[in-house]
Every structure is written in C-alpha cells, then in structure tokens.
Amino acid sequence: MLTAAAAQDCAHALVERARAAGADAADAVYGGGASDSVSVRLGKLEDVERSESEHVDLRVFVGARSASIGSSDLSADALRELAERAVAMARAAPEDRFAGLAPEDRLLSGAAPDLDIDDPADPSPQALRERAEAAEDAARAVAGVTNSEGGSAGAGRNVFALATSHGFVRGYAGTSHSLAASVVAGAGGAMQRDYAWRSAHHAADLADPESIGRLAGTRAVARLNPGRLTSGPMSVVFDPRVGDSLVGHLVGAMNGAAIARGSSFLRDRGGQQVLARGITIIDDPLRRRGLRSRPFDGEGLPTAQRELVSDGVLGEWLMDSAAARQLGREPTGQAVRGGGGAPGAGASNLHLVAGTVSPAALMADIADGVYVTELIGQGVNPVTGDYSRGAAGFRIVGGQLAGPVAEFTIAGNLVDMFAQMSAADDLEWHRAVNVPTLRVDGMTVAGD
C-alpha cells in the first residue's frame, strides 16, 4: 500500500498517461488499505487475518463520451495500457451531455481541514487478541449466556487519493479500530443471540472491551422467551441502533441522480414539509474523528456541514456534478467514489438532532405499542416509499417495556412515517449515522 503522497503521484501520473493517449479530460482515484483482525470463540483463538489491497480507477472523457476502467496492477506498463484502453473505450461510448469533471472553480483550494482521522497507534495481533478475549469473557460472564459466536478486534489503515486533469491532486489517510462480541442465551429452540460492537478512527475512542461484552450478553438474555404481538395499528419506537436505517432511507431518496430519474418517492417534494416539525438532520463531513469524515468529496470539491432537513423541511438534494447538470443546479460537495466508474452522491457523518424528552417520556403515553431493536429483510420500495420489514424487540404496555416479542412485521409508507416521527434526547455519537430513540405513530403491525 502506498503512502498518501505516493498515492497522489500515482493518480496524477495515470491522468497524465490518459491525456497523452488522447483523452480531453480525466480523473483517477487510488484506494489502498491494510488491516489486521483477530477473532476468538469460547476463550480460544479462532482466526488471525491480515489483508492488503490497492486499486486505481481511471475515468476519461473524449468530447461528450466517457469510459471508466480499473486495475490492481500498478506497474508502469499496466497503467499505460490501462490509459490507452480507457480512451479507446470512450471513443466507442455513447454521448452523455451531463457527464464531466467537477467545475474547476469549485475545487478545494488552500489547506485541507485537519479531521484527526489518522491514529498513530498500531496494535499488535497479541493486543487485538487480548481485546477480543476481554470482550467475549465479559459477555459470557452475564448470567443466562450459554454459548458464544465469538469476540473480535481489528485495526486498519486506508489511503485515498484523487487527481484530475484540471489540476486537482490531493490525498489523505485514515485508520480504523473495531471491537465486537456476539453471544447466545438460552438453550434448544429457545436460544436467542445478540451482539454489541464499536468502531472508531482512534483506538482511544473505543468503549472498553468489558462494557461491549456486557452489553452483548445483557441484550441476548433480555430476548429470552419472546411473546407474540396481536396485529393492528400501533406506535412503534425504534432503538438508536435500528433507527438510523430510517435516516438512511430518507437520504437515499434525496440522491440527485434518483430525483433526476424520477425514481425517488421524494421526487416532487423538494423544499416541502415532509418530516414532522422539530426534526432536523445534519450531514457533517468535517466532524473531527467522524467515521465518514473527509476533507474533499469524490470530485475534489470542498466538503461542508449541511442541513438536509431543517425543522421537517427538505433541503437541497445530494448532488454530484452530473446530477447537478441534469437538474440545472450546483453540485453540493457530496460526491462519493465507489468501486470504480463515475462518482455518485452520498452523505458522510449523519445525525438527527436530539429531541427534548427522555426515551421514557417519549413512550409514556403508549398504551399498547412495540419497541424495535432488530430489523430483518429489505422490504423498502425507494420509488413509492412503501415500507415493510420483519422485526423483533419488546412490547410496550402502559408506557413501559413489558417483555420481548419476535416474529412480527412493521409496515407503512415512509412519507407517512416521517410525518409522524418524534425524537428523544438520547443521541449517541459512535456511529456513522447517529440518531436518538425515535417514535413513529400509526404504523401497521402484523403479528398473530
């Protein structure tokens, strides 16, 4: 894996080769990573892994035609052939009047912000094993835990670099540390499993292994002997570890490409009151040590904090340059690069601003409802907003949690659900998408 400086040189050299091969414009991305992970089960070492990878992706433009190609071979001959092949592919491609590099006058200039995402700590495999063992030991020590799916710990480093033919050449590096435990409670057909995990750029920001293990064990035991729900309309309360998915569905529907295609349930609702008043959602790519923090986007534009939803009103769509041209707007600095090809648009560190009441107060007036801690399946239609997912969690009776329930489905339409959403004050900050406990009234529950 290259250093950040060497990665920039590699991407820049690939762009120059593309121009020499006949491209009118080009951009190149380098992505590299190395990681170590250790897993244990029942107190014994189960696996030790080391992985390394690096890849370059090249996008070229010949007039209004473009093509993308990638390679994991970074030798000079391979990169030269890559550039020549990409230009030949572009000449045979159909024209796309919206494709192209980001506007040159919008590119990041000056010093990049310091996001503090690179941790100099480099834990040894033995240190990772000790973390994994401590997490699993704490989980297995919880009364009622009968088996383990294991504890794991990992650490890694990633490098990203972007170069364009209009002079942008930047890169950055970041580290990651993770810790998880998953255990089983009960026996036979009554067994239940649950887990806990944390991930951070800096090892110091992880919760201690013992607390993660205890949380996994306590969650598993709490799920024992689940009951069943009676079908009907009721209020649904989403635990923070699953409530983030609702924000994910919203942000996916705010993607400018989906809006331009007419394939989003929000396509005719820009600038409208879609969520309940009091709901504000912020995308902050500049949050220090944020899991998805980045100094520039996938096209080289500067990043900035943005309110995607302000007091329930939708803000600007998330747009890369191509979607912005198609919609007659400006790119929002939220372009992302995936595993090759043209960039898309996506959010970074998201959070839904906390409400003013505690989770207990949020559900105090629910006579008969459900508190969801697990969602199953992918039953969401991004075009219509229809929502139906399997779930498990706890019954709410008289405003109080009243025992575990499982094997039920919650359903509704996302537009209606967002309009009925309210938030508690328990916002957590250790995920890429951070939300407090959320309540949605009027959903349909299918149980017995």
Q: Report residue 240: phi and psi, to 5°.
A: -55, -30
Beta-strand runs (E) in 109-266: 145-164, 169-185, 192-200, 232-238
Q: Which residues pair with 198 in a beta bridge?
A: 179
First-last CA distance in the chain? 55
| Domain ranges across the chain | 226-448
How many Cβ atoms are within 10 Å of 42's Cβ, its own excluded?
A: 12
pLDDT for residue 288: 97
- What is the distance between the alpha carbons of residues 409 and 234, in angstroms, rounded to a whole number? 12
SS3 category, 364: coil
- What is the distance between the alpha carbons of residues 436 and 237, in angstroms, rounded to a whole number? 11
Q: To which residue do tokens 């209004």 refer?
A: 64
Which amino acid is present at 175?
A: T
**Beta strand 44-62 with 169-185: parallel, antiparallel or unpaired?**
unpaired
Nearest to 247 by CA among 110, 121, 74, 432: 432
Q: Calculate the alpha carbon distances from 394 to 34, 236, 243, 247, 357 in Å.
A: 40, 10, 15, 22, 20
pLDDT for residue 285: 98
User: Which DSSP letter does residue 16 get?
Assistant: H
Helix (H) or strand (E) holding 373: strand 368-376
Indicate whether this model's pTM tops 0.85: yes
Q: Report residue 200: phi and psi, to 5°.
A: -155, 160
> What are the pLDDT digits (tens) for 263-315?
999 999 999 999 999 999 999 999 999 999 999 999 999 999 999 999 999 99
CA triplet 115, 118, 120: central angle to 5 degrees?
Answer: 140
Which amino acid is present at 218?
A: T
The residue count for the chain: 448
Contact 35, 81 (CB under 8 A): no
- What is the distance between the alpha carbons of residues 404 and 202, in angstroms, rounded to a whole number? 35
Residues 6+ apart with CB under 8 A from 27: 15, 58, 59, 101, 162, 163, 164, 165, 299, 300
Token pair for residue 65?
A: 């035609």
Tell how far CA 438 is from the center of its chain: 19
- What is the distance between the alpha carbons of residues 411 and 380, in angstroms, rounded to a whole number? 10
- What is the distance between the alpha carbons of residues 56 and 128, in angstroms, rounded to a whole number? 30
Q: To which residue do tokens 């572009």 refer?
A: 90
pLDDT for residue 341: 81
Contact 258, 252 (CB under 8 A): yes
Per-residue pLDDT of the chain (448 residues; tens, 9 = 90+): 899 999 999 999 999 999 999 999 999 999 999 999 999 999 999 999 999 999 999 999 999 999 999 999 999 999 999 999 999 999 999 999 999 999 999 999 999 999 999 999 999 999 999 999 999 999 999 999 999 999 999 999 999 999 999 999 999 999 999 999 999 999 988 899 999 999 999 999 999 999 999 999 999 999 999 999 999 999 999 999 999 999 999 999 999 999 999 999 999 999 999 999 999 999 999 999 999 999 999 999 999 999 999 999 999 999 999 999 999 999 999 999 976 788 999 999 999 999 999 999 999 999 999 999 999 998 999 999 999 999 999 999 999 999 999 999 999 999 999 999 999 999 999 999 999 999 999 999 999 8
Contact 60, 26 (CB under 8 A): yes
What sign has the CA pseudo-torsion 143, 144, 150, 152?
negative
- What is the distance between the alpha carbons of residues 4 and 299, in angstroms, rounded to a whole number? 17
SS3 category, 431: coil
- What is the distance between the alpha carbons of residues 407 and 412, in angstroms, rounded to a whole number? 17
Token pair for residue 135?
A: 């997490």
Residues 6+ apart with CB under 8 A from 85: 69
